[in-house]
Amino acid sequence: MMRIGMLTSGGDCQSLNATMRGVAKTLYNSMGDVEIIGFEEGYKGLMYADYRIMKSSDFSGILTEGGTILGTSRQPFKLMRQPDEQGRDKVEMMKHTYHRLRLDCLVVLGGNGSQKTANLLSQEGLNVIGLPKTIDNDLWGTDMTFGFQSAVNIATNAIDCIHTTAASHGRVFIVEIMGHKVGWLTLHAGLAGGADIILLPEIPYDINVVADAIKKRAKAGKRFSILAVAEGAISKENAALSKKEQKKLQQNNPYPSIAYEVGARINELTGQEVRVTVPGHMQRGGAPCPYDRVLSTRLGAAAGKMIMDGKYGYLVGIRNNEIVNVPLADVAGKLKMVSPDCDMIKEAKLVGISFGDE
Ligand code: F6P
């Protein structure tokens, strides 16, 4: 009998359950003689042997359920080599659990940090398969991560809702969108929601350029402006500072987040009334959208097939709509960022969207 461990790690997203279901259904349908062991709260469950033996019924009816039936937690990669509170080696504990349960493979659903740990475990001799989770879509090696399109829907909906109130009041509205250090979510939701100005971490902004774009709209008779601002957006001055200087500046920053800072500066420079909306973790919640359900089912099925073929040490991704296997060693530690010169940015600029850079 094959014994497969499974865990969900890092921030949750809408399509984790759908992906686990894809793996599980493939294995139960094709092998029969298989046991799936679910670790609670990500790598923590693997470290402390907190697990349950799953039944095939656990994976039924969860295609449309957000969150994760296994729970998740953040276990930063940089702390993996540091001992736990009782001085125990975390990597050794994870290996011990894996061997004690006589696992044939560990399936890790996670984003960047989680795949770095997956690679570490793979290098330590465990059979590991990674599946690309994150609303940020910043995982290298795959065009798309599951959770991303569902989050785009929610962030777009937030901008849509803001549109009607912005138009009524004639104000400047800022919607701050998640995405950590990358701008994929903001770029997609900003385009889909018809934002007038989009600020991304990859394209540092000049606040005077942003203010001018708003003034220009007002002059042209537009009663409102909508900005989609990535939570990681950064001004040109700050981007020019060293990481240490940036950190110091952040510690003394009086604003709760970047959208409030941008809002205050816009008010100063344009005299227009500004409102800020932060949808926050709503963007990770609710049911997965149909795109994600399809993607998760495909990725999950492909991972199941890899387990049956004994092909380990890979992230299962998608490129040009085809499933690909990318070595975990190639994925680990790399971020997939928005290129400021990519077609999508050029096209957005062609339709008049300002990125605050020129
Ligand atoms: O990586 C997903 C994400 O939602 C990011 O977009 C965001 O920066 C971060 O997680 C928030 O983390 P937490 O849930 O720990 O507050």
The model's pLDDT over 69-83, given as tens digits with 9 standing for 90+, comes to 999 999 999 999 999
Residue nearest to atom 10 of ligand 1 (CA): 11
Give the model's pLDDT for residue 2. 96
Residue nearest to atom 2 of ligand 1 (CA): 11
Give the model's pLDDT for residue 342. 98
Contact 129, 303 (CB under 8 A): yes
Give the model's pLDDT for residue 49. 98
Give the model's pLDDT for residue 170. 85
> Nearest Cα to 257, choosing from 283, 279, 236, 226?
279
Measured in angstroms, how far is the CA atom of residue 268 from the centroid of ligand 1? 30
Signed CA dihedral, 237, 238, 244, 250: sign only: positive
3 state DSSP class of 58: helix
Neighbours of 333 (CB within 10 A): 13
| pTM strictly above 0.95 | yes
**Positions of the chain with pLDDT lower than 70, given as ranges:** none
Give the model's pLDDT for residue 74. 95
125: left (phi over 0), alpha (psi -120 to 50) or beta: left
From the candidates 12, 136, 138, 292, which is the catalytic residue?
136
Measured in angstroms, how far is the CA atom of residue 231 from the centroid of ligand 1? 10
> Nearest Cα to 66, choosing from 20, 24, 13, 25?
13
Q: Which atom of ligand 1 is nearest to the CA of 138?
A: 1
Q: Which of the following CATH numbers is that of domain 2-147+288-331: 3.40.50.450, 3.40.50.2030, 3.40.50.300, 3.40.50.720?
A: 3.40.50.450
Q: Which atom of ligand 1 is nearest to the CA of 180?
A: 8
Q: Which atom of ligand 1 is nearest to the CA of 283?
A: 4
Please give all residues whose beta carbon lies within 6 A of any atom in ligand 1, as ranges: 11, 74, 111, 134-136, 178-180, 231, 284
> Nearest Cα to 202, choosing from 310, 348, 305, 99?
348
Task: Report domain extents, the chain.
Answer: 2-147+288-331, 149-284
Give the model's pLDDT for residue 187. 98
Give the model's pLDDT for residue 32. 77
Alpha-carbon distance of 184 to 202, in angstroms, equals: 10
Q: Which atom of ligand 1 is nearest to the CA of 178?
A: 6
Measured in angstroms, how far is the CA atom of residue 11 from the centroid of ligand 1? 6
3 state DSSP class of 172: strand
Residue nearest to atom 13 of ligand 1 (CA): 11
Residue to mutate, 133, 178, 186, 278, ligand 1, most ligand atoms under 8 Å from C-beta: 178
Residue nearest to atom 8 of ligand 1 (CA): 180
Q: What is the per-residue DSSP string for 199-228?
A: EBTTB-B-HHHHHHHHHHHHHTT---EEEE
Instruction: Tell me if 2-147+288-331 shares its fold with 149-284.
Output: yes
Both tokens of 219, joined, read 């002059």
Residue nearest to atom 15 of ligand 1 (CA): 11
Residue 192 burial by Cβ neighbours in a 10 Å radius (0-12, 13-18, 19+) = middle
Active-site residue flag, 212: no
Measured in angstroms, how far is the CA atom of residue 139 from the centroid of ligand 1? 14
> Nearest Cα to 317, choosing from 342, 336, 341?
336
Measured in angstroms, how far is the CA atom of residue 180 from the centroid of ligand 1? 6
Contact 357, 205 (CB under 8 A): yes
> Nearest Cα to 20, choosing from 45, 37, 33, 1?
37
CATH superfamily of 149-284: Phosphofructokinase domain (3.40.50.460)
Residue nearest to atom 14 of ligand 1 (CA): 11
